[in-house]
Amino acid sequence: MNELVEVRNLSKEFGSKNTKVQAVRDVSMKVSEGEVLMILGPSGSGKTTLLSMIGCILAPTNGDIYIDGENISDLPENELPKIRKKKIGFVFQSFNLLKSLTAQENVEIALNLNQTRGNEAKAKAKELLTEVGLGERLSFFPAELSGGEKQRVSIARALANDPKIILADEPTGNLDSKIGQKIGSILKDLAKNNNKSVIIVTHDNRIENLANRILRLEDGLIKNEPNEEVIGK
């Protein structure tokens, strides 16, 4: 299978001298298309920092990041938004929906940013929301949606640019176990049925069963033994 994400000896430091903190230390991993990789770890373990580097938001201190075969570590900063726009979709714990817009409009605005507008954007937003089970909630505002429904809107929005890679930061952290399983299942189905790579960082071990592989991050380091935590579902 095609490896859509590869990181090699990736590290990130913040501060300097006496205030220096090593948030991520010498992490290497690969993620193939159609795969859900889950990175488990407690708060402060470096999960979000790692995800932010893969998502072209933070620059690494050391190491290389390959997105769909391209070494983005070599790109100038002004080129990174193009990578995010074309190849990466983000799902956040806090949903990050615009309160004054309906579910459909929240997805439409993401499509607009990718130059899809008018009736085409409306139709595509409806299609994406229907795909995640919200075809009957198109005109609802975020305040009228449950937590699980808000997260489904955010997933639909992440799919607006048809990204090859979906990065999910604590996507079930604000949800109860049953709804969290549903959200995790949606992400898994996207990987399996659409050949996307899904990376989930979380401390929520209730959704471990949804991953193809699990890496455990602690103090910025991968703690797994070789061949450990391979689920392969």
**Would residue 102 count as lying in a domain?**
no
What residue type is 173 in one-letter code?
A: G
pLDDT digits (tens, 9 = 90+) for 169-223: 999 988 888 899 999 999 999 999 999 999 999 988 888 999 999 999 999 999 8
Residue pair 214/199 in contact (Cβ under 8 Å)? The answer is: no
Q: What percent of the chain clears pLDDT 90, i.e. is strictly above it?
A: 74
The reply to whether 87 falls in a domain is yes
Query: What are the distances in angstroms from CA 3 to CA 24, 31, 119, 151?
Result: 22, 6, 35, 27
136 domain-assigned? no
CA atoms within 13 A on the CB side of 175: 28
Residues in the chain: 233
What single DSSP character describes residue 72?
G
What DSSP line would sit under 89-108, residue for residue? EEEETT----TTS-HHHHHH
Looking up residue 181, the CATH number of its domain turns out to be 3.40.50.300
- Please enumerate in sequence order all residues whose Cβ is within 8 A of that of 25, keeping only pairs 6 or more positions apart, or say none: 11, 46, 219, 220, 221
Write out the residue range of the structural domain in which residue 40 sits. Answer: 3-97+149-222
Q: What is the pLDDT of residues 149-170, one digit of tens each?
A: 999 999 999 999 999 999 999 9
Does any domain span residue 166?
A: yes
Helix or strand holding residue 190 (H, E): helix 177-194
Domains contained in the chain, number: 1
Whether 227 is covered by a domain: the verdict is: no
Three-state SS for 217? strand
Question: pTM of whole model > 0.85?
Answer: yes
Is residue 112, in this structure, part of any structural domain at all? no
Let me know if residue 233 belongs to a domain: no
Predicted pLDDT of residue 232: 43
